Chain A
Amino acid sequence: KQEVTQIPAALSVPEGENLVLNCSFTDSAIYNLQWFRQDPGKGLTSLLLIQSSQREQTSGRLNASLDKSSGRSTLYIAASQPGDSATYLCAVMDSSYKLIFGSGTRLLVRP
């Protein structure tokens, strides 16, 4: 059974810092891995999607990497801003097209 783990569970950093969020999964048989942002009480915003054949994706200050063989992904946020404060969720799509989510990392960027 696929399990997705995210570390750390919570993170508080001063504005301007570069930071890394980690995601690991137990079964490497995935179609893709996706990083989402969720603001309190809101739905999901897709940030980056990495297909299983890809190693990384970049969008603005965000960069996500995927090492399928080791079951790991990282989300790198450069020059963090208070507006980046949110919960970041990692999810993998398994062979039946189901998304399995990690428990998330709650990020607070202090001004």
Chain B
Amino acid sequence: GAVVSQHPSRVICKSGTSVKIECRSLDFQATTMFWYRQFPKQSLMLMATSNEGSKATYEQGVEKDKFLINHASLTLSTLTVTSAHPEDSSFYICSARVSSGENIQYFGAGTRLSVL
């Protein structure tokens, strides 16, 4: 199956630091990528939809200036948590949808962010 690589897998940072997470589709092109957040013992919540070459679409309640998303190529989307605070500590997971129109999302392994 298609492979999505997410990096880094773990980040520990001080409050006020900005953190960038990368999501790459390794063997397919993805015009659309999705970013999810998962708090402990809760389910995944969609944060935003990332479209190659255009602005991301954010879900209600997600601050676009806080969570910057860039999808500059068909194989790479990045999520930057700006000026991270302890309440941003969470598990962030990306997924990619194959451009051919297949209605399947392939998931990265996730990034655990801990803000001290």
Contact = CB atoms under 8 A, between A and B. Distances in A.
A15 B5 CA distance: 34
Contact of A49 (B36, B104, B107): B104
The contact size tier of chain B is 20 to 34
A98 B34 contact: yes
Contact of A103 (B32, B42, B95): B42
A97 B44 contact: no
Interface of B: 6, 32, 34, 36, 42-46, 49, 91, 93, 95, 97, 103-105, 107-110, 112
11 contacts: A32-B103, A32-B104, A41-B112, A43-B6, A43-B108, A44-B107, A46-B107, A97-B103, A99-B34, A99-B105, A100-B46
Given A43-B6, A44-B110, A46-B107, 19 more contacts: A31-B103, A32-B103, A41-B112, A42-B110, A43-B108, A43-B110, A44-B44, A44-B93, A44-B107, A49-B104, A51-B103, A89-B44, A91-B44, A93-B105, A97-B105, A98-B49, A99-B95, A101-B43, A101-B44
Interface of A: 31-32, 41-44, 46, 49, 51, 89, 91, 93, 96-104
